[in-house]
Amino acid sequence: MNTISLLLFALLLPGTLSAKATLTIDGASSDSTITIKYDVPESSHVQVRIVSTGGILAAPQYGFQASGNYSIVQDKSGFPRGEYLVQLILDRDRNKVTRRSFLHPPSGRPATRSSEERKLYNRSFISTMFDPKQAVELWNDLLTRYPDYADRGTAYLYSIPARMSASDSIDVHAAADSAAALFAYPGTYLTIGRFLSGLEVPASVKTRYPETAIIFAERAIKHIGDVPEPYRDEALYRCLHLRGYCLQLLDRFEKAEKAYNEAIETLTSVEGAGSYSEFLQGGWAYQGLASLHEHQGRYRDAIELYEKAVRAKPRDPELWMALQRNFNLAHGSDAGYQAYSRKLEAETRGDAPEKQDDLVGKPLPEFALARLGGDTLTLEQVKGNVSVLNFWAFWCGPCMAELPVIARLARETSGSGVKVIAVHTPLESVPGISKEQVPMLVRNTAGKYEGAFDTVWDSKEQSLYVRTGIKSLPVTLVADKEGIVQYRMVGFDPENAYRKLKAVVDSLSISSAIPR
């Protein structure tokens, strides 16, 4: 999912508030120090860290602590101006996080951006995904209208993808340089590099600046000592991966392979307690090195590396498709692949919920989902038709690429007893986008295919995603007229998706029409 929304997820995760721990900040009005007070309900591995645009700036606590109340005085006099999060993380668990924000320096302002500033920031951020030209105008308006804006560095930083799409090279590089100057920290340099390389921008952004991205990667590596020690090797790994990716874009394959291998070697010294286990297991670097070997025709080497990447990121459908593609290229056919992939899936699944394959042959769960127009669509309304349920999200790049295929299928089967439904995730909000704004984004996307298919909104109460065992996006289910699931397709295969779905739909339509 190479979408802009993931960038803010990366900034704010680990994610949900914990009701079991308390966290307070005293002294946020001081220019030099902040006092962090927290409690540990039961003995745990505890991380207290200060996070901002530049990544993790301080980690005053990292390690085991017994239950009790604790207080830490943190020097922040050297922090760049901006908004910060204090995160309290228990047991290395992304579901056991409490966070509080503060501004530095405070300058008599409240602890967060003003409502007007935040509203304009959100509009700028949203437009980046859907209207880059307008986004550039909004980002510039924010920076011009509020010269004392607390997070100017962040605004410059997150305006880069929009500028890459709608502005010239001079404007892009000026924004990158401004972000780096206002928040001179390795995490900032790394994020700039990932933007400029195309790794972390919407799929619609086609411009790439790999040479400049390498410069920022090298700058981040040069200052890697500024990253708190528990997270330093993980940050170095990400910088080396970026370097390898950019060198690969520039067809400097020998140097790219060296950079990927250096990234993998870096992980040998990383304790398995970072923010993202797939980083620590080398998922990115294995995937990059595998794609490099595939490009060079070294398909058996690529299989070995894609398998390691799959073990690191077992929910990534693109990796599974790449693994199958290289299996076919290496062996001349896909004979034996199904047995191989089933064994690998069983090994990577561990204690995960029921396999999605187990849904085939079972009835669709009962549901009553809200259409974007306001009324409700139920399972009973769907029964009697061959039904195609496409599970998607506006922030999922492969989903957005697949929607035209789903629309084509809907139009070409219209009036033949086929019901096509696009089911959006029950996501209520994402960082930088309010709960109220998400439906608008979904409507804007689905509106391009108005009349082709029904668009419905899953909810936490309905939890159709959970009840169908879906663990990655996109996923398409095809059910017969009795509501029994007969086919499941994971991920988006541009070359074969329509053909496969149309064949299944036609087969079910014909079989259900035969008198019994």
Instruction: Identify the three-state secondary structure at position 31.
Output: coil
Nearest in space to 137 (alpha carbons), one of 112, 116, 167, 157: 167
CA–CA distance, 210 with 337 (Å, rounded to integer) = 36
Sign of torsion, CA 199 200 202 205? negative
Q: How distant is the alpha carbon of residue 88 from its chain centre?
A: 22
Average pLDDT, integer, range 256-276: 72
CA–CA distance, 446 with 437 (Å, rounded to integer) = 15
The answer to whether 513 touches 482, Cβ cutoff 8 Å, is no
Is residue 409's pLDDT more than 60?
yes
Nearest in space to 28 (alpha carbons), one of 150, 183, 142: 150
Beta strands in 53-169 (DSSP E): 55-65, 68-75, 82-90, 97-104
CA–CA distance, 310 with 436 (Å, rounded to integer) = 36
Domains of the chain and any CATH numbers: 5-104 (2.60.40.1930), 115-349 (1.25.40.10), 357-513 (3.40.30.10)
C-alpha pair distances (Å), 396 with each of 246, 366, 484: 23, 26, 27
* 449 C-beta neighbours (distance < 10 Å), count: 18
| pLDDT tens per residue, range 462-482 | 778 778 877 667 889 999 999
Amino acid at 365: P
- Quickly state the pLDDT bin for 282 (edges 50, 70, 90): low
> Which structure tokens are listed for 242?
């970026």
pLDDT for residue 352: 40
**Residue 365 DSSP code:** P
**Highest mean pLDDT: which of 246-255, 271-280, 481-490?**
246-255
- Quickly state the pLDDT bin for 513 (edges 50, 70, 90): very low
Higher pLDDT, 218 or 82: 218
Q: Cis (ω within 30 of 0) for the bond into 41?
A: no
> Which structure tokens are listed for 467?
């009840």
Radius of gyration (C-alpha) of the chain in whole angstroms:
24
Instruction: Identify the three-state secondary structure at position 485.
Output: strand
Average pLDDT, integer, range 231-256: 92
CA–CA distance, 41 with 43 (Å, rounded to integer) = 7
| pLDDT tens per residue, range 20-65 | 578 888 765 566 888 999 998 888 888 999 988 778 889 999 888 9
198: phi > 0 → left, psi -120 to 50 → alpha, else beta; which? left
pLDDT for residue 136: 95
Amino acid at 305: L
Residue 494 CB-density burial (10 A; 0-12 exposed, 13-18 middle, 19+ buried): exposed
CA–CA distance, 448 with 463 (Å, rounded to integer) = 26
Look at 49-53, 87-91, 313-317 and tell me which has the smallest mean pLDDT: 313-317
Nearest in space to 459 (alpha carbons), one of 383, 352, 376: 376
What is the value of pTM for the model shown?
0.66
| pLDDT tens per residue, range 5-15 | 434 333 333 33
